[in-house]
Structure formats: C-alpha cells, structure tokens
Structure 1
Amino acid sequence: MRNTLTKGVTTNIRDYGRRDRDHCLALMLGNTPDFFAPCEVGDFEEFLDDLSHSYYVVEVAEAVVACGGWSVSSDGSASLCWGMVERSCHRKGIGSYLLRERLRLIREDDTASSVALMTSQHSRPFFERYGFAVVGVEEGGFAPGLDAVTMRLEI
C-alpha cells in the first residue's frame, strides 16, 4: 500500500481484491466504447474472475477510481494489462500515477527487460509521453474505428 499526491489528489494503490470486481467493471463500462470495445467487456470479466497476474486498484477517498496490472512472460518481457481510469478522473494524474507504479514494480521485480502493451489510438499519446514506442498498428483491431496499437518500452 502506497500513498502519494497526484495533482493535488491523495491517492492510494493496493492489490486488487474480489470486492473490487464491480468497481473495476464499472470503470471499464464508463470508458466504453471510446477506449474499449463493447466486445471486450466479457474478456475483462473473465480476467477479473480468474486473476492470475499482479493487478491493482487506485483509490481516492476510499473510492476505486483506476485499475491496472502487469505480468511477465517466459521470454522476459512484461505486459501491462487492463489499465483504466474512471472517466471523470481523466487528466488528473491518476493514470500517470498508476502507470509509474506499475513500471516501478516491474523494475523492482527485475525479471523483465521490456514492457509491452496493446492500446487504442486514443491512449497512444499518453503512453508515448512515457517513452513507449509504437511497434504495430492494426486498424479496427479492437472494433470498427478502434485501432489496436502495440507499444513497447525498453527498461
């Protein structure tokens, strides 16, 4: 459990627990269809129900406002998975905080040499600000009008 100050907002990051499922699902639904395709909701539900990776929630005033995780593959690369921030909290530094914390934890784990992720064209500029480079784009890869952008960061 860590506390920090993000653009004047006190945040807390902690491990995901089953009690967070509905909150995380609400975060996704609030970001659909602009950032996630409706067809991804079922995949996210399955992910939460069979969680086998490091996954976290970010709280503000004890309310879950963001979630995201990561895993390490056998090839030594880490992958960020299912990161999202409550729509009303966009552009308040919470997504940056969540990303920085996940990258810090990956570096502390010391098993990965790079970090990969797949996002849409809408979130691409956010990740580029943190040094992620585009390695592939599949137009309409998530849904019509929602491209699948593969990005990578060497650590």
Structure 2
Amino acid sequence: MADIELREFKPSDREGCLAVLDANTPEYFSPVERETFDEFLAEPPGTYLVLVDDNRVVGCGGYIPMPDTRDAHTSWGMVHPDYKGRGLGKRLFQARLDAVRKRGDADRVRVVTSPQTESFFKLYGFEVTRREKDGNAPGIDLVEMWLAL
C-alpha cells in the first residue's frame, strides 16, 4: 500500500466520499443520510479533508467554524471499512483538531456522533452533553459531545 495522502476535498472527490458513506451504511449511517451528505458535498462549508490511497478516497471529514461564536463543529467524518484499524481515523481527526487549534478562533469543538463511535471521541477528551433517540436518523441515536480547547 502506497502512502495515504491527506488533503483538502476537491469536487472530483464527491463520488469517492459517497462510496465511503455507502460502505459505512447501515452500521454507522442510515440510508436516509446519503442525500444530506451528497448536498453537503456540493459545497462543503468550512474545511473538508480526504484521505486518498492510489486515487481512491478512503476517508473524509471536516470542521466548520461557527459564526458569531468561539465554536467549531466537526462534519461528516468516516473511514472506509477496508481501511479501519490502520490509524487513519485518528490521523484524520487529529488533523481536524490541529487545524481548528491553529486557526485560533475556537474555544470548543462539537461532535455529533452515534453510540457506536462515542468511545473514539472520549479518547480525545470529549464529554457527552446530550443524547437523543433516533436523533441522527431512524435507528441511529444521536450523541452530542464537546471538547474545550
């Protein structure tokens, strides 16, 4: 396996990102979330990054600085199941956190996730602030978490 590149999203990455979402459905995402993600990819707000292996998108995720606040929200983070267990999720998430810190305009970072990935974010010091049954989509509970920078 060649080195996996981490870079900013380009419009030509759209189908690759959708393929990563599809590969993570239904374990981590609901089929009803695909349309929302596709619309997001049309013009991603904030910064959106991709992990690329030999011209194949194998992961993606970003963050959005929130106007009129000192908050940043993470957006649509995922790694293709074929690439899990290689530290790519950590690499991608750490790059996002580092970028938020470097900007210097956020005091907190928000993650909206599901119970399946809650423990991953706890490793970074995120704390659960809210839970909502079926809050992400039918059958996928919402877990809101915050990290003070």
With the length of structure 2 as denominator, give the TM-score of the two structures: 0.94
Unmatched 5+ residue regions in structure 1?
1-7
Letter of the 1:110 counterpart = G
For the pair 1:77 / 2:77, whether they are aligned, the reply is no
SS in 1 for 2:32: helix
Alignment match, 1:25: 18
Identity %: 36
Note the C-alpha offset of 1:9: 7.3
Letter of the 2:32 counterpart = C
SS in 2 for 1:38: coil
Letter of the 1:15 counterpart = E
Letter of the 2:31 counterpart = P
Note the C-alpha offset of 1:75: 1.0
Note the C-alpha offset of 1:91: 1.8
Note the C-alpha offset of 1:61: 3.4
Letter of the 1:22 counterpart = E
Letter of the 2:41 counterpart = L
For the pair 1:104 / 2:124, whether they are aligned, the reply is no
Which stretch of the first structure deviates more once superposed, 55-64 or 105-114?
Answer: 55-64
For the pair 1:14 / 2:7, whether they are aligned, the reply is yes
Q: Distance in 2 between matches of 1:91 and 1:132?
A: 21
Q: Distance in 1 between matches of 2:87 and 2:29?
A: 20
Residue 47 (structure 1) aligned to one of 40, 45, 65: 40
1:73-116 deviations in Å (ceiling 9; x for gaps): 12110000000100111121000000000000000000000100
Deviating above 3 A after TM superposition, structure 1's stretches of 4 or more consecutive aligned residues are: none
For the pair 1:142 / 2:132, whether they are aligned, the reply is no
1:101-140 alignment to 2 at 5 Å? 101-140=95-134
Root-mean-square deviation (Å): 1.4
Unmatched 5+ residue regions in structure 2?
none
With the length of structure 1 as denominator, give the TM-score of the two structures: 0.90
Residue 84 (structure 2) aligned to one of 75, 87, 90: 90
